[in-house]
Amino acid sequence: MDNNYSVITISKNLLVTFLLLIFTLSHFTSSSFGNQKTNFYQDENVDISFLKAWDSKDATLYALFIRMQKNWKTYWKYPGDSGFSPEYKIIESKNLKKIEISWPTPQVFYENGSVINGYKKELILPIFFYKEKNNKNIDFKLDFIMGFCDEICIPIKFIINSKDALKTNELKNKLVSNSLEKVPLDLSNTENLIECEVKKNNNKINLISKFDGNFFSNNNTIDQLILEHLDGQIWFSEIKKNNESFEFISIINSFEDNNFFLDKSKIKYTIITRSGGFQQIGCKSPIN
């Protein structure tokens, strides 16, 4: 099992801030940020608990239950223009094959000219811990770091483990199930519903994405669109709906300036609609 930290997604304009936060973390223990116990964290603004939900044949489901005071927020796995995504480090493990976090569809906030993807008030985050051998139990201990913001942003570091995790009750199991239902629906196995093309506009390079009007209408009308590129060297900004209701335009940015190749098969769309979220990787070229 890889014990390295998971990759952080962070915007360039907050890179210095983030490095300062990591510097701060390196000089304080986790208990410096609040009332810290294994699987529990609490301060005046944030309350976190880590509980065991249920077992399946090949995995055990746990969940983070996070409550935040008014105006406080935490970030989705891809935080947007500012902020940083949660990260974890495996301290020790036994019979652990892999970890999968089931992210509910985020909210999109607009603050000080930045687009932020995250959650306010409450987040229930289901986490699947998969077994190497199905007939044996899983044991693990992880360091977790999450960012929380209001007027200021603070990283909170806490420890979770399987040994001391309390069991969820019936009500909390329902909350976990509801959160799983809010995970964006994967459209990868359906007919490709998105056409895209790249066009140059003066000194900018645009991605034009056109969505299937039959599918993305009525309750599936698109409210927000989040774009990622899976190679990590390309990102998208200024995502706007065109005059056509099913077309979005965004600016393509690259660490290689304008000398790059856009692999359309690695574009990840997270589509937020009135009925919930959808995800699709890749888009097809328009039919001329």
pLDDT in tens, 118-139: 999 999 999 999 999 988 889 9
Residues 29 and 152 in one domain: yes
Contact of 83 with 39, CB cutoff 8 Å: no
Please check whether residue 287 lies inside any domain of the structure. no
Q: Element (H or E) spanning 199, and its range? A: strand 194-201
The pLDDT confidence band at residue 287, using thresholds 50, 70 and 90, is: low
Residues 88 and 40 in one domain: yes
Residues 104 and 208 in one domain: no
Q: Which residue has the tokens 């990759």?
A: 7
Residue 237 has pLDDT above 90, yes or no: no
Mean pLDDT value of segment 3-10: 38
Please check whether residue 76 lies inside any domain of the structure. yes
Indicate the residue among 183, 201, 232 that finishes a domain: 183
CA–CA gap between residue 251 and residue 26 (Å, rounded): 36
Mean pLDDT value of segment 267-286: 90
Residue 32 has pLDDT above 60, yes or no: no
Please check whether residue 6 lies inside any domain of the structure. no
Residue 19 has pLDDT above 80, yes or no: no
- Total number of domains in the chain: 2
The residue segments making up the domain with residue 216 are: 186-281
% of the chain surpassing 90 pLDDT: 47
CB-based burial label for 233 (10 Å; 0-12, 13-18, 19+): exposed
Residues 215 and 195 in one domain: yes
Indicate the residue among 183, 216, 234 that finishes a domain: 183
Residues 151 and 231 in one domain: no
Q: Would you state the pLDDT for residue 209?
A: 93
The pLDDT confidence band at residue 35, using thresholds 50, 70 and 90, is: low
**209's tokens:** 């994405």
Residues 110 and 219 in one domain: no
Q: What is the CATH number of the domain that holds 251?
A: 2.60.40
Residues 17 and 62 in one domain: yes
Contact of 14 with 82, CB cutoff 8 Å: yes
Residues 160 and 234 in one domain: no
Indicate the residue among 183, 204, 227 that finishes a domain: 183
Residues 192 and 171 in one domain: no
Please check whether residue 286 lies inside any domain of the structure. no
The per-residue pLDDT for range 67-102, each reduced to its tens digit, is: 999 999 999 998 887 777 889 999 999 999 999 999
Residues 155 and 240 in one domain: no
Q: What is the CATH number of the domain that holds 39?
A: 2.60.40.1250
Q: Please give the backbone phi and psi of residue 113, each rounded to the nearest 5 degrees, phi first.
A: 80, 5
Please check whether residue 218 lies inside any domain of the structure. yes
Please check whether residue 3 lies inside any domain of the structure. no
Residue 172 has pLDDT above 50, yes or no: yes
Residue 262 has pLDDT above 90, yes or no: no
Mean pLDDT value of segment 232-250: 85
Please check whether residue 4 lies inside any domain of the structure. no
Residues 38 and 98 in one domain: yes
Residue 11 has pLDDT above 50, yes or no: no
Q: Please give the backbone phi and psi of residue 176, each rounded to the nearest 5 degrees, phi first.
A: -65, -45
CA–CA gap between residue 239 and residue 135 (Å, rounded): 48
**72's tokens:** 């406080």
Q: Would you state the pLDDT for residue 202?
A: 83
The per-residue pLDDT for range 183-201, each reduced to its tens digit, is: 999 997 777 799 999 998 8
Mean pLDDT value of segment 32-39: 62
Mean pLDDT, the chain, integer: 83
Residues 33 and 80 in one domain: yes
CA–CA gap between residue 76 and residue 66 (Å, rounded): 13
Please check whether residue 1 lies inside any domain of the structure. no
**10's tokens:** 């962070």
Residue 284 has pLDDT above 70, yes or no: yes
41: amino acid identity, one letter: Y
